A = this chain, B = another copy of it.
Amino acid sequence: MKLTIIGCYSATPRIVGQTTSQILESRGHVFLIDCGEGTQLELRRHKVKFNLIKHIFISHLHGDHYFGLIGLISTFRLLNRDADLHIYGPKGIKEIITIQLKKSNSWTNFNLYFHELENSCSELLFEDNRIEVFTIPLDHRIYTNGFLFKEKPFDRKLLINQIKANNIDKAYFRKLKQGSDVYNKEGKLIKNSSVTTIGRKSKSYAFCSDTAYNECILPLIKNVDVLYHESTFLELHKNLCIKTKHSTAKQAAIIAKKASALKLILGHYSSRYTDLQLFKSEASTIFENVLLARDGISFNF
């Protein structure tokens, strides 16, 4: 998986500080998560191929997470996109986008599918043979979801020498990769484990923003490889967290620890802080493997 932080600041775009948007690349998919104003320009800067984005996940309808969506859709249209586009987001997002298309007397020349969400339980949004995407219901001022991206098990790796030695026909390779035992050319049953080995480890990524401290999400994100958890504030401003339903860096770290996540990425910083290292320091007192999101950087995992 490769995660590119397009923007990781809260509230309002600034000259240094884009609002939330991320690109997650996994097994051939290019997922866009949230889409603050100006996201399309940042995608151009990062040379993300627009046509590869087929699924956009919007956490909630605060502007810093979606004001760039209508512009991106319009640009797709102007660039004569033909690939289907799926948008997953809170109920209301369809009305917001379609009213703007309607008032400009235009429509998309590609298929635009809205998947409107209103469930307070986790649900499966997308699945193919490579990956599954689930919602993570969050606790914010308005209806909000995080998203869990779980790669499906990779194929087992073939041990070519053992396969040759066991005289197995090529026609069975697919079955072997999927873990089945097969018969060889002489009709003898060959145990899968004797001719294959474990494949690449599947990874998982959880995006949790915006949210108050919320232990309800723990079962959903248990053992996740990488957790992006918002940390709008430091403990110093915990009172603001309660009022605005955001989290501190320490709270994000507690969630990461309790979920046994392997890595924690912090983001969604309030612009009141100039030194982001303070977030890392605060979270590191609780959880060891803390990384800081910054606009434009990528994480490979």
Chain B: CB-nearest residue to A63: B74
Q: How many residues of A contact B (CB 8 A)?
A: 34
Q: A40 touching B12 by the CB < 8 A rule?
A: yes
Residues from chain B with Cβ under 8 Å of A38 in the complex: 13, 37-38, 41
Chain B: CB-nearest residue to A11: B78
Chain A positions 34 through 46: 1 when the CB is less than 8 Å from some CB of chain B, otherwise 0? 0001101100110
Q: A37 touching B100 by the CB < 8 A rule?
A: no
Q: B41 touching A104 by the CB < 8 A rule?
A: no
Q: For the complex, is A216 an interface residue (Cβ under 8 Å from B)?
A: no
The minimal Cβ–Cβ distance linking A69 to chain B, given in whole angstroms, is 10
Q: How far is the CA of A67 from the CA of B70 in the complex (A)?
A: 8
Q: For the complex, is A61 an interface residue (Cβ under 8 Å from B)?
A: yes
Query: Which of A91-99, A185-193, A274-282 participates in binding chain B?
Result: A91-99
Q: For the complex, is A103 an interface residue (Cβ under 8 Å from B)?
A: yes
Q: How far is the CA of A41 from the CA of B68 in the complex (A)?
A: 13
Within residues 9 to 26 of chain A, which ones have a CB less than 8 A from any CB in chain B? 11-15
Q: How far is the CA of A63 from the CA of B103 in the complex (A)?
A: 10
Q: For the complex, is A141 an interface residue (Cβ under 8 Å from B)?
A: yes
Residues from chain B with Cβ under 8 Å of A95 in the complex: 99, 103
Chain A positions 59 through 100: 1 when the CB is less than 8 Å from some CB of chain B, otherwise 0? 001110001101100110011000000000010110110011
The minimal Cβ–Cβ distance linking A6 to chain B, given in whole angstroms, is 14
